[in-house]
Structure 1
């Protein structure tokens, strides 16, 4: 297969269902879906079961017991369970546009990872999107979103369907080409080379820390935030802890200062 899509989720069945609908209508079909489930209840497994058989390959559901926020660990487990040498990472609250997978495959390049973004929706519009809006791709139309009450501003340019404008905006944007958990991809071996995600880290910068170690290992990144489009559905972040976020920042500062490539508490521990 050309690619494995790794989707993180935790007790968010309504959003996950919308995301999986987005992957059903992808123009590129040669990919597998791997669900990195950080301890959800059986309701999430029920949602996944309704989508089995609707993709070219069986959905891989990677689950561990709920012991708090352990996104890094479940992602490392999902990486080991994936069956492609190229991995696309996103979250279970990000609906992909129909060309999302195709763009990542088209833009992949040895020595690089791809850095994408998202277009964030308010809760009211997130709730208003129904199945048909995703299957028909109406939810990616600026005019339709404006009718639902979306405020018009420069950010709606992210939803352009013009590939030339998107390419220009990718070049123009001052946003850093970081590893973003909701929309980034890279070769599996490049991720293994830095020992995967850092399990010392909680919520707040853990995705970017992976990319920073990949930079330390001599890699570059490509900006595709205006080409690979996904809609971010609104939700609360009750797991955010300011103290842990500060600790994560300290880890990132240390790694940058000391050019750290491989961390100790990473994917290697899962291979034993």
Structure 2
């Protein structure tokens, strides 16, 4: 019997093995090592399966691959299956297009607290830089240096503070940012028992805001949130969003309005089915 890891990391993916490979290398570079990786795969084809098999032999951490048949955008469903598969009491969620800085998992570990979830952000990269980042750039952490990113064409911006702020500066920026500390599917963590108490994600929800709605039910449960967007840093690789459609977004907004108005903690369309 293995001892359970300190934290389970859920990474969602769908047919984007080139990006997923970069992400998996970024977890090899973590300075905090006691975690398991649970890949929530929304029905990828063979190339993704082959990559995961290859990576299992090359990284220090265990990988659990949770997969279901491709049935359109069903991220909420596969995330619920992944939550159930997690062996740890604490879960960090991110995406298969987000490269984690070496202290990323450590920051989540350092800030976790009963009665709270943690809300991080991401640093958006343009396509040209997303493509050029190599395994070596990730393992050396060069891809997190503003100087290197600028040499690859990154523009100057206040947002670059996300990459350069450490210690007190990041704490101050976390405090003053106008961004809500919501549950963000690309960078959020919380207690497995809290996620189970609200029955996970609402599986009626497809693209657009299903992560926020989960956070809104956590708030209704009495869980608070902490802002760590300037401390827990990940780079978001660019990609087209073919699955984005207004109908799905509108449907989700209606579900979120009900959650808010009726102060719902539980969804009947989650992990446990009626």
Q: Please confirm whether the aligned pair reaches a TM-score higher than 0.5, indicating the same fold.
A: yes
Residue from 28, 33, 41 that aligns with 2:32: 28
Report how far residue 56 of structure 1 moved.
4.3
CA distance in 1, matches of 2:228, 2:49: 32
**2:171 alignment counterpart:** 167
Match of 1:85 among 73, 86, 89: 89
Q: Does 1:202 align with 2:206?
A: yes
- Alignment match of 2:135 (pick from 131, 154, 162): 131
Determine if contact 2:28/2:60 at 8 Å carries over to the other structure: no
From the superposition, tell whether residues 95 and 12 of structure 1 become closer, same or farther in structure 2 (CA, over 3 Å).
same
| 4+ residue segments displaced more than 2 Å | 53-58
Match for residue 225 of structure 2 among 213, 217, 221 = 221
Deviation at 1:207, TM superposition (A): 0.4
Tell me what 2:150 maps to.
Answer: 146
Candidates 11, 14, 22, aligned match of 1:10: 14
Deviation of 1:236 after TM superposition, in Å, equals 0.4
Provide the alpha-carbon RMSD of the alignment.
1.0
Instruction: Determine which of 66, 70, 76 is the counterpart of 2:70.
Output: 66
Q: Contact 2:117–2:225 at 8 Å: present in 1 too?
A: yes
Aligned residues: 270
Q: Offset of 1:58 from its aligned partner?
A: 2.3
- C-alpha separation in 2, matches of 1:136 and 1:228: 18
Gaps of 5+ in 2: none
Q: CA deviation at 1:57?
A: 4.1
Q: Deviations over 1:68-110 (max 9, x none)?
A: 0000000000011111010000000000000000000010000
Q: TM (normalized to structure 2)?
A: 0.97
Gaps of 5+ in 1: none
- 1:259, CA displacement in angstroms? 0.3
